[in-house]
Amino acid sequence: MFIGRHIWHVVLIASALAFAQVPAPPERPLRIAVNTTTIESFPVFLAAESMGREIEIVPSPNGRAAMAQLVSGEVDAATGSETQALLNSVADPRIRIALTLSECRYRIIARRSAGIRRVSDLRGKRVAATLNTSSQYLLAGMLRKANLKESDVEIVPMEGQEMPAALKSGAVSAVAIWEPHAQNSLEGIGNDGVVLEDPSVYVERFNLNTRSDVLADPLRRLVMKRFVQVIQIASARIRGRSPGLLAQLAPRVGLTERTVDAVWNRFTFPAELDNEQMGASLDKVEPWVAAMQKRQPRSHAQLGTLIDGSLLLHESRD
């Protein structure tokens, strides 16, 4: 069910505050693997501060590592984009998307001096992307819309934090990546920068993912449900940019407040799960994931089993 921001938001916050104060008796904290390099993780960090010993944050260097910990059973939940949920759910069908934490508009940053003005100019160029992630999916989608294939460019495998220096030095002609690496890349080359973006190709949905066995366990489900509710409260504070909040959260992902502020308008923090939108997003990304994994794409109905919004407070129906 779609959880909108409307009059029921007040009811949700009041209910969640009351619920969050009820002690739970888990044998151990709920362990959450969190990508510590992304602004999208802000709601999880802020919410965890209110949960005390019920939640243990397990720092991860990227979404791939976080999801690997979820699949291995090392953690009970993990942050990551919808691409990671799709990539990992073939090996582990228990993967479930429980909540959309953030949405982010991606972009390609290219060098004007490399003769690039539009996506079609990327043909034959060296383009940095992080393989098997939403970075590579963005590049593939932008190329496809320009009637190009991934094989029409030289993809240089690279982590996001390495891209600004590589672009500035000329080691690559363009980078396809999420924030803040895109912004840092753009600032590094100044007036030589060209921004290529198209939200119709891709807008990342960065989610809180878990497993069906966690949801089926009464104690862990109780803490997960409470955590989701506190995330919704934290996300309302983030959307409102409470005074001092960005300065408080930026160091948690190794950034300055200035950097976060520079890319802030590229993010939203819905703290909801729109089944229809998420289903459409999974349908759109799945063919690329299937091609990467050399298998047939799953059907809409099969992908629908990955979405589980049962932890959310639902609006009343009078």
3-state secondary structure of 37: coil
**What's the pLDDT score for residue 27?**
74
Strands 30-35 and 55-60: parallel
How sure is the predictor about 10, in pLDDT bands with cuts at 50, 70 and 90?
Answer: very low
The pTM for the full model equals: 0.89
Average pLDDT rounded to a whole number, residues 147-168: 98
Mean of the pLDDT values across residues 149-161? 97
**125 phi/psi in degrees, rounded to 5:** -90, 160
Please, which pLDDT band fits residue 17 given cuts at 50, 70 and 90? very low
Per-residue pLDDT at 197: 97
Q: For residue range 101-119, list pLDDT tens digits in order.
A: 999 999 999 999 999 999 9
**Is 60 exceeded by the pLDDT of residue 11?**
no
Q: Given a cut of 90, is residue 317 above it in pLDDT? A: no
The full set of domains in the chain, from first to last, is 8-104+204-304 (3.40.190.10), 107-196 (3.40.190.10)
| CA 217 centroid distance within chain | 26
Mean per-residue pLDDT, 150-168: 98
The candidate with the shortest Cα–Cα distance to 110, out of 99, 98, 124, is 124
Whole-number Å distance between alpha carbons of 79 and 269: 14
Identify how many contiguous H helices and E strands the chain contains and give both numbers. 13, 11
Residue 124 pLDDT greater than 80, yes or no: yes
pLDDT score of 57 more than 70: yes
Sheet hosting strand 203-211, strand order edge to edge? 55-60, 30-35, 77-81, 203-211, 95-105, 267-268
Stretch 179-194: mean pLDDT:
97
Q: Which residue has the higher pLDDT, 123 or 16?
A: 123
Q: Average model confidence (pLDDT) for the chain?
A: 92
